[in-house]
Amino acid sequence: MSDVEKWKSELKKLNSEYAKIKTLPPEERGKFGREMNAKKQKILAAISAAEAEAESTSITPIDISAPAAPNEAIPHVSRGSKHPLMTELDRVIQIYASMGFDIMESRQLDDELHMFDSLNFPKDHPARDGYDTFRTSENFIPPAHTSTMQHRALKKYKRKLDEGGKIAVAIPGRVFRNEDADATHEHTFYQCEGVFVSKDATMGQMFAVLKHFFEAYYGQKLKIKTQPGYFPFTEPSAELLIEKPASLGGKGGDWLEMLGCGMIHPNVLKMADIDPEIYHGFAWGGGIDRLAMLKYGLSDVRYFESGKLDFLEEF
Ligand code: DAH
């Protein structure tokens, strides 16, 4: 019997007792009536409470073991898709992996040591201004480039040198700059870093590796050229350009700067306990957004981080 039913039968019993009033002497009837009414009020209140309680707990149970109805029309569900930058990033990793590179991932919060000190940026040197970025109140730094990972990569794979091998690592990651955004600049974008160390690494090898990378990525032969650059963590430093191929709208002689590179500065090797008298290395870093923009003929880098569905749905 439910609580509601129990109280209702109490009420019935009480109502039948009212008849007793006639058998009582008149002077006792008033008291009897008041007691009966008080009992009745209590029972009515209990009924209301029991009814409210029953209502709140009467949820239709769901049978989670019930079979699906495969023949019933399923409403169209939009599942979204992989972001084009992630597709390109995977492609970049794939190419470096096929060339024998280990892959590490960069992080989205780093520190002074990895952002500047381990990269041979002298304290208070104006070169730090070129990497103007944000800081948290605890002085952590959203990295302005993937070079922040160089020190970690050198330390992690140094054992390969000790075993007579070489270090070859590619490191994709998201980077952040305190930048006024326009069609070719974003405050948030992706880069891929490369680090190579061996006993006989040369700049010539570096340009061969990079040429191979760009040709694999764009699926065709390309012309490259270099121009001098400056980075505290490389000596000498260079910028690498590729000629925009005709298949991507190039008219010949359109040179596009794709990345910064150079021979790893002896101080950077020393910081990671690698002897620069014995080992030499080269490193490079460039934007993935820029690679993808050329591939897809995009005129505005801001599309990537815009969250515009009509843009994303084109990929
Ligand atoms: N980190 C540099 C930048 O974002 C690019 C770069 C230059 C990376 C030279 C390197 C390098 O590894 O050796 O501007």
Q: Give the pairing type, strands 102-103 and 167-176.
A: parallel
Phi, psi of 202, deg, nearest 5:
-135, 165
Whether the per-residue pLDDT at 59 is higher than 80: the answer is no
Mean pLDDT of the chain: 92
How many angstroms separate the CA atoms of 281 and 266, rounded? 9
pLDDT at 149: 98
**Measuring from atom 3 of ligand 1, which residue has the nearest CA?**
145
Phi, psi of 108, deg, nearest 5:
-100, 5
Residue 90, amino acid: D
How many angstroms separate the CA atoms of 312 and 315, rounded? 6
Q: In the structure, which protein residues have their CB atom closer than 6 angstroms to any atom of ligand 1?
A: 145, 147, 193, 231, 233-234, 237, 260-262, 283-285
Ligand 1 atom closest to residue 194's alpha carbon, by position in its atom list: 12
Report CA(303)–ligand 1 centroid distance (Å): 24
Stated pTM of the model: 0.76
Helix and strand numbers (H, E) in the chain are 9, 7
Residue 250, classed as helix, strand or coil, is coil
The residues pairing with 287 across neighbouring beta strands, listed in sequence order, are 191
Distances (CA, A) of 88 to 133, 172, 289: 25, 11, 9
For a mutational test of ligand 1's pocket, the pick from 116, 141, 284, i.e. the residue with the most ligand atoms closer than 8 A to its C-beta, is: 284
Distances (CA, A) of 266 to 161, 166, 232, 269, 275: 16, 17, 11, 5, 8
pLDDT at 166: 98
Return the structure tokens found at 186: 């974003």
Whether the per-residue pLDDT at 64 is higher than 80: the answer is no
pLDDT tens readout for residues 172-231: 999 999 988 999 999 999 999 999 999 999 999 999 999 999 999 999 999 999 999 999
Residue 161, classed as helix, strand or coil, is helix
Tell me the HSE value of 31 on the side-chain side, using a 13 A CA sphere.
5
pLDDT at 152: 98
Instruction: Count how many residues are written for the chain.
Output: 315
Ligand 1 atom closest to residue 144's alpha carbon, by position in its atom list: 4
pLDDT at 15: 87
- What stretches of 156-254 adopt beta strand conformation (E)? 167-176, 188-198, 224-229, 234-243
Contact 156, 273 (CB under 8 A): no
